């Protein structure tokens, strides 16, 4: 277990996204990168200390970015990522479980570029077991 818990689950989510065939970045790619793509945005560790260890949850935030006319593609990609993450139980020696009741997918319009976009934001809470 040489990685921290948040790095372990971040890397596992990235690996699963790539396994699904999605272009996956851990940063906002430069101009010229074709849509659609997945951006892993960040993690948040929510600790829950016990007498013998610190457990808790890791929240992973990621987005599926598509052109405005690719809503169906973005929706399918987000759902496939969510379903794939449901099956994560181990990463780098740690055990996890996706807390489905505290995870969600939101769809937003994005006009921060010259091309109107759709952004499917996934917030996934993994319990550390």
pLDDT tens-digit readout, 70-119: 999 999 999 999 999 999 999 999 999 999 999 999 999 999 888 899 99
pTM of the model: 0.93
Give the pLDDT mean for 45-72. Answer: 93
For the cut 80, the answer to whether the pLDDT of residue 13 exceeds it is yes
pLDDT of residue 6: 95
Can you list the pairs that 74-81 forms with residues at least 24 positions away whose Cβ atoms lie under 8 Å? Answer: 74/36, 74/107, 74/118, 74/119, 74/120, 75/107, 75/120, 77/20, 77/22, 77/36, 77/38, 77/120, 78/105, 78/120, 78/122, 79/105, 80/20, 81/16, 81/17, 81/20, 81/22, 81/38, 81/122
């Amino acid at each position: 277990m040489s990685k921290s818990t948040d790095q372990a689950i971040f890397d596992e989510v990235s690996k699963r996204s790539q396994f699904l065939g999605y272009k996956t970045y851990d940063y906002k790619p430069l101009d010229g990168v074709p849509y659609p793509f997945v951006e892993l945005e960040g993690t948040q560790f929510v600790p829950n200390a016990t007498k013998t260890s610190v457990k808790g949850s890791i929240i992973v935030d990621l987005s599926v970015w598509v052109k405005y006319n690719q809503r169906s593609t973005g929706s399918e990609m987000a759902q496939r990522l969510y379903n794939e993450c449901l099956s994560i139980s181990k990463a780098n020696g740690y055990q996890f479980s996706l807390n489905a009741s505290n995870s969600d997918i939101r769809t937003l319009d994005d006009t921060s570029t010259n091309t109107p976009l759709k952004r499917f934001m996934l917030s996934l809470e993994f319990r550390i077991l």
